[in-house]
Structure 1
Amino acid sequence: MVFTILFYTFVVATAIQVVYYLFFCSFVFEKKKEKNEDVNIPISVIVYIKNNADVLTEYIQHLVKQKYHSFEIVLVNNASIDNTIDILEELQKQYTNLKIVDVKNTEAFWGNKKYALTLGVKAATHEHLLFTEIGSKILNEDWISEMACNFSQEKSIIIGYQKLKRKKNSLNNVFIRFHHLLNSIQIFTYTKFGSPYRATNHNLAYTKSEFFKVNGYINHVNLFIGEADLFIKDAATKINTTYSTDINSFVSSRKKTTFKEWFSLQKKETILISLYKKKHQFLLRLFKVSKLVFYILAIYIAVINWAIALPFIIGYFTLLYTVLGKAASKFQEKNVIILLPFLDICLVLLQISIFISNQISKPKHWK
């Protein structure tokens, strides 16, 4: 009797996982989207800066080489304590399309990133905005063009992709990028189906009108998390939001994230998920829970009767390799699926560890 109940629970968990991955197929295997090659809108590129003096000159010299007919660069310096402002002022003398927004700490908004970005939006000359941060590297001279060509009369919010920096001979790095790949598949798939829930401020575009329509970050300005995600929650709809997966629109993180940093970030992001719309909370958690149940019961049933469990396990990993393999190719992350079964199991174990860790020590909002 117990075995029968657990078996049917296993079947249900497997079915849920299969439905999710078939759902992901619609994005992963979609044909290349048509571009609006005639786009000629001026763009304000808003760059967030916080104590980045060491890489600032190289970054700006690279960014100004973008092959786009009309753009300004709004440099938002959020109360840096190094010599960032001195370098920015020197660079402004060299490049006429640089605009500096030097944000000072105030008692009400001390070190507040959302406050600083709001000042950047207000200072921008143009209606169409493209956001990034010094922590990311622009990979192609057509980055602005590739993001801008997604704007249209209907589409006013464009979600871009940020790659994580690769570290050779590092299993931790492979695992972190595998987790990032799986998250990215979900982000773009949900957006494709008109239910956007997440983005990164390292590669995100939208209009001033959309920003002010929801009063910017007003609903969560005092939370030191989620400037992109919670803006998407407030402003994005199935009509006004799209995405870019052209490789020329990608950016890449400049820093190799350590496992300790990644684990701490995952703990803190549990706060963010709790602030999403209820339907997104449910769907994201159902995916994780069904995966956990699948593995636990797959092991149990295999021990009792491996012949029953084996077809389910083979079918699951075949689907996993097919979907994630195609996605890895799409996002130029092919090497992350070499150890796919191992990484997928480790992901479940890490999720359990994060849950336990959060029960012991609640994460705090980060700055």
Structure 2
Amino acid sequence: MFFYLITVLLGLYLGCVGMQLVYLVFIFSKTGQYHRERGSLPAGSAPAEPKPDFSAGVSVVVCARNELDNLRELIPLLLQQDYPDFEVIVVDDRSGDECYDFLLLEALRHERLRLVRVNETPQHITPKKFALTLGIKAARKAAILLTDADCRPVSNQWIREMARTMEGDKEIVLGFSPYQVKNGWLNFFIRYETFYTAVQYLS
């Protein structure tokens, strides 16, 4: 009986490992095999710099609830972006801290910043989806760029770099946001989980 149980458990384990290998080899490996579709480049040659299309404006939408500290860091970084035509829309999702007062003052100081407030959420939709819906509806630009209050753009070229990928008939562009590196096993696990999740949706 003992050896039979061990055999069954071993078979289940090997089956799970096999399924994981199938995903790693045939699905997740697509991320590492990405190549440009528009022809190949000669060996040793550098790709030409793409010409960004600045004709389309960009609406950056951020949904936040009780994120005052994060917004104090994020808003200046968004407003300092080097892009000719953009706006920042922050959806205050029923915050209980001083988020709304802070955002209201910032919106009066910066014409690019706009504020949407959620007082209550309908029962048929989750709060985050409802906040996103209101933020997207409030957008005035052709392209919509989504981020969260606890994220930080790596430079003032973030909007520009994302916009240059929105060429042709593309409808959705995905980006990877790595977790900030800190000491500790918890941080390592969160970074691994973030990377693993990104591999799944980018594949």
Fold in common (TM above 0.5): yes
2:68 corresponds to 1:68: no
Contact 1:105 1:111 survives alignment (8 Å): no
Report the Cα distance in structure 2 between the residues aligned to 1:75 and 1:6, rounded to whole angstroms: 51
| TM-score (normalised: structure 2) | 0.77
- After superposition, the Cα gap between the structure-2 partners of 1:179 and 1:32, relative to the gap in structure 1 and judged at 3 Å, is farther
Map of 2:157 onto structure 1: 142
Q: Please report the RMSD computed on the Cα atoms of aligned residues, expressed in angstroms.
A: 3.1
Q: How many residues are matched?
A: 188
The CA distance in 2 between the partners of 1:11 and 1:111, in whole Å, is 39
Please state if 1:28 is matched with 2:43: no
Q: Residue 138 of structure 1 aligns to a residue in which SS?
A: coil
Distance 2:80 2:191 in 1: 29
Cα gap change, 1:146 to 1:25, in 2 (>3 Å):
same
Q: Which structure has more RCO (C-alpha within 8 Å, separation ≥ 6)?
A: 2
| Paired amino acid for 1:86 | D
1:111-122 counterparts in 2 under 5 A? 112-122=127-137
Partner of 1:249: none
The 3 A distance-change label for structure 1 pair 82 and 111 is farther
**Hey, what does 1:46 align to over in structure 2?**
61
Cα separation, 1, equivalents of 2:35 and 2:163: 20
Aligned equivalent of 2:22: 19
Q: Do the aligned residues in 1 keep the contact of 2:68 with 2:97 (CA within 8 Å)?
A: yes
Q: Deviations over 1:3-49 (max 9, x none)?
A: 99998877765554433222233321434788753321100001112
Please name the residue that 1:173 is paired with.
187
The residue aligned with 1:285 is none
**What does 1:254-265 correspond to in 2, within 5 Å?**
none
Matches of 2:32 and 2:126 in 1, distance apart?
39
Identity among equivalent positions (%) equals 29
Which runs of 5 or more residues in structure 1 are unaligned? 190-367
Distance 1:111 1:12 in 2: 37
Structure 2 segments unaligned to the other structure (5+ residues): 38-46
Match of 1:129 in 2: 144
Q: Report which stretch shifted further, 7-16 or 54-63.
A: 7-16
Residues 229-284 of structure 1, C-alpha deviations (whole Å, 9 max, x = no match): xxxxxxxxxxxxxxxxxxxxxxxxxxxxxxxxxxxxxxxxxxxxxxxxxxxxxxxx
Aligned mates of 2:12, 2:99 — CA distance in 1: 57
TM-score (normalizing by structure 1): 0.45
CA–CA distance in structure 2, aligned partners of residues 94 and 11 of structure 1: 61
